[in-house]
Structure 1
Amino acid sequence: MPELPEIEALAAFLRENAVGRTVIRSDVAAFSVIKTFDPPLTALNGLTVTGANRHGKFLDLEVDGLHLVTHLSRAGWLQWREKLSPVPPKPGRGPLAFRLHLAPAFDPDDDPDADDDAPDEPPAGFDLTEAGTQKRLAVYLVRDPLDVPGIARLGPDAMRIDLDAFAALLADQRAQIKGVLTTQSILAGIGNAYSDEILHAAQISPFAIAARLTESQVSTLYTAMRTTLADAVSRSVGQRAATLKSEKRSGLAVHARTGLPCPVCGDTVREVSFADKSLQYCPTCQTGGKNLADRRLSRLVK
């Protein structure tokens, strides 16, 4: 799932490659991804892309006062295309869900010396795709980002909250710290992967109760959160959209590394599985050498 660093990088990529271009049209290949109807998507036609921003894990493309907001969810992705086919995609075919056509950055009509017989440059733009069978990718066209329910519910951003506010936030949470870090209405931007990485860097068990963390642990966790995310952003920004996934994987210490050695202590990275996801941790670094109960196995072994 794309999280804060990847969405920040995608926003930076779009600011560099899409801002200043005119929207030609949009194509919808999976109608379920479109979550709004007013204004209609045709309202984008002829408008100019003016910016790109991030709200938690939501990507916001600003288009002359309108906001094309995307939540990539677990299996969604943005794929930039320098040349888009003019043929509209057929609905229900493959992972493509949505396509935005943008005029070339350079318009030959603006150059009096341009060769009139030169072939027209094909439009650029991007595809929004989603793999798998659980279709959760969402696209909204709104006048204000707060019109998107998920954005309106967001807690403070993980990269913008200060230590005092972070400590006060945790003090009110009687839940496990893993869940607190990944609940977007509490703290925005962190998902399953980076919460594993942050907790590993802070040497805190994912099952620790947030409100019971000591002042020292809270400070260490805050520093780990800011450092882990900042490092990931610095690695990601400047990457092309196509390379962001591999860049994310290359920087992970424990997430998705079950059975491999911890890069800090050499112990084996362990996993706890839930219904539709899992977490990874290092027993030596985080739990005093104890293995956490695997919820999936504990239901089978009596």
Structure 2
Amino acid sequence: MDFVPMSCPYCGRAVDPIDSRKYVCSSCGKFVYTDRADVRAFIRPSEIEDRFNGIFESLADGNEKKAMDIAGDLVDSTDCCDHDSLFMRGYVYAQIGEDGKAFTDWKKGLEMLSNDVNLDAYVCLMSKAVFDMILLKEREFVEFNVLGYIDKLCEETDASTGMSCKAFFYYTVYRDCLKHVTEPDIDDVNILKDIIPKIFKRVVAYHRDCTCLSRIIAEYLDHVGYKAETFEEDDNEIPHVYDLIRICLDEHVSRMSEEDRIRVFDRWDDKSLKESLEPMLEAMVEPKKGILSKILKKDAIDVAGHDETIHAYVDRYLLIDGPEEEPVAKTE
């Protein structure tokens, strides 16, 4: 199912559809792609367009050597080498599990970006490549610190473009994971069982659009088969914490204006979320700490979401706990 953006994931402002493939932000001008697995969205009409397509076709045929030869020639060519060539070679490296070399090429490509209106196309490319590496390394039992890897990519993106994109990057990888485990006749349906919850936690921790976070949580709860009445028997204590967050969010967001939503979005960026909110979320879903420890000990928890820990987290996120004079996120 294609993604339908409710607002720009990079600046929080309104988006308008251009065609079935993409939307455009009315404020920052960035394109937002509906197919989050579209790795060809970055390709511009040019004399080397066919060579890019040839790389993808070689990979589809299982001919990684040919794909790497073409990509290497593009990067080595003084006429053709630009950020697109580096992103493309990084993608090929990812397909063969060379995560370090892929990261190096993508970092260089990001540094060469002179215009970031099509940044989302590269986010799609890198996200899909990271997902492919997750599968490759899981199947070959190779250790891969996927959270650390994505964090570093997002930090490099922020350093080069000024755009905080952790939530959307993680969400794109998360969607790829869900699509994989729900495909019919899949023989490794449990391969991502331990990874999906870790990726989803980052989606929640870094999400800046409060009006759609509740919906994303609800979709996750549906995926894990969460039922509030039987969460303990179903071993769904952590999803229960997300449900309490969702309930508390809904209470406040239903009364918020569009100006309130923008104020929340602009208040946070990846750096401030990492310093202020991610530790709070981590504490809540850590079995030996916070609200989850109460749940595991079967202490009384208000199922309506009126736990002080939940409220403290949501209040800080929605700026209800008092005004803060902090630098706002860059919006253009």
TM-score (norm 2): 0.26
Q: Which has the larger share of helix?
A: 2
Larger of the two Rg values belongs to structure = 1
TM-score (norm 1): 0.28
Q: Which has the larger share of strand?
A: 1
